[in-house]
Structure formats: C-alpha cells, structure tokens
Amino acid sequence: MTSLTSFLSQWARRGDDRRPVAATIEAIADASRLIAELISDGPLNGNLAAAVEENVQGEVQKALDRITNDRLIEACRTAPVAAIASEELDHPVVGTPGAPLLVAIDPLDGSSNIDTNVSIGTIFSILPAPQHTDPPSHAAFLQNGRRQLAAGYILYGPQTNLVLTVGEGTQIFTLDRRRGDYMLSTRHVKIPERTREFAINASNSRHWDQPIKAYVAECQAGQDGERGEDTNMRWVGSLVADGHRILIRGGVYLYPSDQRIGYRQGRLRLVYECNPLAFIVEHAGGGATSGDMAILDIEPARLHQRVAFIFGSSQEVARIEDHFHLKPDHVDATRRCAGA
C-alpha cells in the first residue's frame, strides 16, 4: 500500500512549487494523529466536551475545540505557512514570515457531538499567500475557492480517514495505527451521479425558502410524486460525517439559508468549511452550490462569511439548482444563499 508520505513525495517531484504544499499536508497529518489518539480515549482524557467559553462566532467553545485549534496552529507553524486562519479565532495568526502558503482551518467540525461518540473532524484549505498583501490579514484569505492548492478533512470515527485533493482527483487515506502512518485506501473516489438519499435538518422546514420546500416535498412524495422513486433521509449533524457518507455512496447534503435571524445568509463558513469541501467534492465528480451559483465561484467578502451549502451527487445538485433558477419570484432568496 502507498503511504501518504510516499504519495506526496511522488506528487511533489513534478514541480518545486508543490513541495511546500506537500510539507504542509504532512504537518497537518502529523497533528491529526495526536488528535485522533486523544479523541479515541474520550472521557479517559477528561471532559473534552466541557464548555470553556464562546468563540468569535458566538458559539460555545468546547475543551477539545481549544486543544485541536492549538495543536493545528502549532503544526502549521512548522510548515512553510505564512499565516493561519481558524474558525475559532477572530483574526489570522502569524506563521513563518515569507512562506508561500496560507492555511484556513476548522479545527474541530461537529464539536456538539463530542460527548456522544459520533464522528467529528478537522477541515483544512491550503491557499497561496498573495503578493503585496499582509499574510495575517483578513484580506489575504479572501480568495476565490478555485485558487485552493489543496484541501482535505480528517474524519475521526471508527476509522481515522484523511480525505485529500491536491487538484488531481480525491483520495482517501486511512490511519494505520500499527505503522503510525496514513495509507492510501481509496484512489480517485467518485461520487455516484444519481442518488436516492438526501441529508437535511427537517426540523427547520417551516423556515425554509420555497425552492428548498419544493425539493424536499418532491423527495418525500417518492414513488407517488414527480421523481417516481422513493428516497431516504439521513442526517448526522456533523458536516464531515454527512459529507463522508455522500463521498462514499452518494447522496446530497443541504444546509440552506432560511428565514431565521442569523441564518438568512446561510450558516456554514465559506472559507473554512464550504470551499474545502466543495473542492474535494468537485474533484470526486460531484457538485457544490449555494443554490444560485457554484460555491467555488463565490468571491469571499469577509473572513468569517457564511453561505448556504448544498453538495453531493451531480445530477441531484443540478435538480436542486433548477428549483431556484426556474422560480423568478425567489430571486431574493437565491441571492441570500450566495451571500450577496
């Protein structure tokens, strides 16, 4: 089997500009091994789900949020990274001055599930450090998602998986605890184009805009409706867990904007969560949209910008977009999805 180190070494030989990217991925992978070990011991390492304080997003920060944030920042500072932006911090922090890269991270996605032994994860995005812009500034990270050099997530579950794209397909590596290394377990994973599964938090249905209501109603109608086939709903409530299921067996994930205060622009972060997941999904043959436009085409306006996020099997994503584009009376709602 091919190790992550060997995979990155072979990839980096094809250009000197790839070596910093490979070194940064290795640094993040090294940190994730320690995080995986900590998570696997759960309460034996103390109350990792204990509330510590509120983060800059106004969300309760758990003990494990802080630990993973600190360890990943420390790891990135050993790599050729000029600055690191974290979902847990208001402002980016300095890395190695003059280094060619930036890293945006969601250190611990799904932290509300820490104490329930549900899969949680780390999401990361690697970007070029722009010239003539101070790396630890907000402006340096406001880059179109298509400028990403690499993106990935680590899923801490029954297996620890590192899912990675360096812009040439999407690969899945599995942590071999005996060797202490990630081994390539699925090469060039492909999301099935069609699906009968959708993932959404249906308890919010009364707040949805009409295009989402129409799509979900179509799924619920099953054989008796326009689709002519029954569907299943799945919802874990951890982005990496729901996303990984879709990557492996297909499906579509919907976290739309809705009418609640704080949700009208969408809820997930463009820079830390949506862009890296969209990059992974597109390189696995899937689609990722806000409803109004491709996620990777959105120009970030703010570091902690939130957007609507829909991704998964390409045909299903196109079907959802049709619900938006064919309904001119919902133009305002689709603009909100794109963060306009």
Please report the domains of the chain, with CATH numbers, ordered by start residue.
4-186 (3.30.540.10), 197-337 (3.40.190.80)
Question: What does pTM read for this prediction?
Answer: 0.93
Integer angstrom CA distances of residue 127 from 10, 116, 175, 291: 21, 34, 25, 25
Q: At what angle do helices 314-325 and 210-221 cross, to 10 degrees?
A: 130
Residue 195 corresponds to which amino acid? T
Using CB atoms within 10 A of its CB, is residue 5 exposed (0-12), middle (13-18) or buried (19+)?
A: middle
Q: What is the pLDDT along the chain (340 residues), one digit of tens a residue?
A: 899 999 999 999 999 999 999 999 999 999 999 999 999 988 888 878 787 676 666 677 788 899 999 999 999 999 999 999 999 999 999 999 999 999 999 999 988 888 888 999 999 999 999 999 999 999 999 999 999 999 999 999 999 999 999 999 999 999 999 999 999 999 999 999 988 999 999 999 999 999 999 999 999 999 999 899 999 999 998 999 999 999 999 999 999 999 999 999 999 999 999 999 999 999 999 999 999 999 999 999 999 999 999 999 999 999 999 999 875 544 444 334 444 3
